[in-house]
Amino acid sequence: MKDIRALLAQEAPLVFDGAAGTYFAARYGGSCELASLEQPEKVLQMHRAYLDAGCQAVKTNTFALGAMYQEGGESLARKAILAGCMLAREAAAPYGAYVFGDLGPVAALEDADPAAIYLAQAQLFLSQGITHFLLETLSSDQGVADFARQLKALCPSAFLLVSFGVQPDGYTREGLGGAQLFARMQACEGVDAAGFNCVCGPQHMLRQFQKLDPQGAVLSAMPNAGYPTVLGRRVVYRGQPDYFAQQGLALVRAGAKIIGGCCGTTPAHIAALVQAIRREKPVAVQAPAAPSPDPSPAPRAAQSPLAPNPLWDKLEAGKRVVVVELDPPAQGSAQPFMEAAARLQAAGADGITVADCPIGRPRADSSLLSCKLKRELGIEPLPHLACRDRNLSATRALLLGLSMEGIRNVLLVTGDPVAGGQEDMVKGVFHFNARKLASYVAAMNDTVFPNPMRAYGALNVNAKNFQIQLKLAQEKEANGICAFLTQPVHSQEALENLKLARQTLHGKILGGVLPIVSYRNACFLNNEIAGVFVCEQILAQYQDKDRAQGEALAVEISCAIGEAMAPYTDGLYLMTPFNRISLMETIMERLG
């Protein structure tokens, strides 16, 4: 068999097989991965159908076994990998085809080591004589560099193809730009080829190719047959083989040296692709055509001057700011909310922050209210954006809308979980966390927004292990967070943590102040609200106080906390309790 690197140096592309999962399910039903153990003859039939169609490389039917490996099914996954290797090699041998060990993505859990999971599977492939690897449908490059280095240490001649699942908008499901990920792979020692697969149909994948700067790299393209539809509870791909072949040929002309298919493709799609390539052999590789005009705003680097951002501009100038949080209304009228915001603006607030369904209870949309604040009052809003309720597509759509409305600041939070007892009816999305969302906003700043959107993050100074919070905050900064709003400070420990944050972090810090208005209020915060802690010394002061006495004490304690935080903060983040605007006006006046 010819060395794969020598083959790829020729004009003709290497043609892969098509989908395993969707094809196997449509033809036989069930999981193709476990079929290696339960129905091996059907797996052989699948491989042979693609080889008869003319492909030069087949993937082992092991895509989902990494996730099984990670989730505790190591023994079964090992058996299925070994069986899958044997079947793929048996099918490929008479055709002289290459066999690639197929590695699917593993979940990016906090304590996970993706490289270790990839390597454990790769060792099984190597034990069966497979030295070509496809790491596919990735949404990030977490663990890839470590895996590539360890793989080449085990087998210097191994060939590693890394492929990302990039959506039509150019981003993965984790919000990372496909072009940026491809560039990282070009610079990653041990990665022999890189490209995209799945998620997109062939035409949208071609558009993504036009954004790449290959610089001699080996490009790979394995698009879906198109986009799925549901017929009678079955997922169906309507993309026809002839159309797929035409678009696949266009990808080859655009520079793809490796071409194949993903979801929805069948042996008929691969046969049509092979014939199209043979008819034009050698395929003339062309420079990618200029992308069609994009109606979205040009990158900010191409526009000047930048629109002002009064809140951030003041922070950047070293001046202290005050932002005040208002809970969005739960009823149908925004008038009381707007009147309260106007009073806070008159009292000296530099911005109004609007929570995104705090403690998981539905209220008016924070982003829509922020647009209303900006238009009608001219004050700078800081909407909270929670990861709880939106997937990547909805988040991108919302961010685009906010940018068009002139919103320049957003507070990114993972979001409170859905309240207990509602799980059967209301599901949290949590497509990504606040750190990944910050990276996504940063990417949109570079490629989409005409003016940068400043991303703020939350910092829990009441955490029992604050070192973990600091580490997460540093990750947020690395991903683009420029400032932090802290949880309220009601203890000496929280103040000490705030000092440590000032010494450790580079971003601006707005210290959290939540006026406590009664003993009952303090007990509720201490026992029912995550991230809030009220020390016994403060708690005891509220016993036996009436409303007037409670408010007076709230002013004294809040002002004392605000003054104590001043050396370690760049401003204050005031949280309004029970819509008591007069109380906030008094505190703001006292704090100057």
Question: DSSP letters along 324-391, please?
Answer: EEEPPPSSS--HHHHHHHHHHHHTT-SEEEE-SSGGG---S-HHHHHHHHHHHH-PEEEEEEESSS--
Tokens of residue 522, six digits: 């303090």
pLDDT band at 282; cut points 50, 70, 90? low
| pLDDT at 392 (0 to 100) | 82
pLDDT tens for each residue of 399-422: 999 999 999 999 999 876 654 444
State the average pLDDT over residues 369-389. 95
pTM, two decimal places: 0.78
Task: Give the right CATH number for 4-279 from 3.20.20.330, 1.10.630.10, 3.40.50.1370, 3.40.640.10.
Answer: 3.20.20.330
State the average pLDDT over residues 137-142. 95
- The closest of 440, 514, 478, 542 to 173, measured between CA atoms, is 440
pLDDT tens for each residue of 359-373: 657 889 999 999 999
Give the angle subtended at the CA of 462 by the CAs of 458 and 466, to the nearest 5°: 80
**How is the chain split into domains, by residue range?**
4-279, 353-456, 460-592
The helix or strand, by DSSP H or E, that contains position 500, with its residue range, turns out to be helix 492-504
pLDDT tens for each residue of 150-176: 999 999 999 999 999 999 989 998 888
What is the distance, to the nearest Å, from the Cα of residue 274 to the centroid of all Cα atoms in its chain? Answer: 36
Q: Quick check: 304 pLDDT over 60?
A: no
| pLDDT at 108 (0 to 100) | 63
Percent of the chain with pLDDT over 70: 91
- CATH annotation of 460-592: 3.20.20.220
Asked, colleague to colleague, whether 4-279 and 460-592 share their fold, the answer is: yes
| pLDDT at 110 (0 to 100) | 58
pLDDT tens for each residue of 520-555: 999 999 998 889 999 999 999 999 999 999 999 999
How many Cβ atoms are within 10 Å of 481's Cβ, its own excluded? 30
Q: What is the DSSP letter of 408?
A: -
Q: Mean pLDDT over all residues of the chain?
A: 91
- The closest of 347, 351, 281 to 312, measured between CA atoms, is 351
| pLDDT at 294 (0 to 100) | 44
pLDDT tens for each residue of 77-123: 999 999 999 999 999 999 999 999 999 998 766 567 899 999 999 99
| pLDDT at 237 (0 to 100) | 76
pLDDT band at 30; cut points 50, 70, 90? confident
State the average pLDDT over residues 574-589. 97
